[in-house]
Homo-oligomer: A and B are copies of this chain.
Amino acid sequence: MKFNTPTSTALYAIEETIKAYRRLSQQNISAVVPKITVDQALILIIIDREDKTQSEIADLIFKDYASMTRIIKLMIEKKYLTKMIDEADRRKTKLKITTNGKSIIEQLKPVIQKNRAVALNNVSDEELEQMYKTLNKITQNCQIARK
């Protein structure tokens, strides 16, 4: 089993990068809104943009439905959200951002923008585009192989 091959290092790098980015994001988010997690911040902003069911949000940010249930639960306990049954389809859930949640979103927006800018400093659009394509190719490979 070889390490330090282009194959393995490239795959490790993906993991390394996402962790570095998450740490940076969490640090900067915490400085503005203590006690909210990166995931919760993102979910809050997604709900704010557009009404979505839990499962739709989960699909959007690559979360398991079970995880989503628990994250939403915590977000309700923290008073960022409220939850109601969707009367049109009683299996579904309607999520609504509280006033408190709204104000948190406003605080978070510039931080999230800044995080992205910092992370992508000196990365050209071509580089980004190229990376995106390669990542998608790998994702496709993995998903196809699982069917």
Contacts and interface: CB of A to CB of B under 8 A. Distances in A.
Contact of A127 (B20, B134, B141): B134
Judged by DSSP, the binding face of A is: helix
A138 to B, nearest CB: 5
A13 B133 CA distance: 9
Interface size class of A (residues with CB under 8 A): 35 or more
Nearest to A24: B142
A16 B118 contact: no
B1 A145 contact: no
Interface of A: 1, 3, 6-21, 23-24, 27, 45-46, 49, 61-62, 109, 112-113, 116-123, 125, 127-139, 141-143, 145-146
Which 10 A-B residue pairings sit nearest by Cβ, starting from the closest? A20-B142, A24-B142, A13-B135, A131-B134, A17-B135, A20-B139, A17-B139, A10-B132, A118-B145, A10-B128
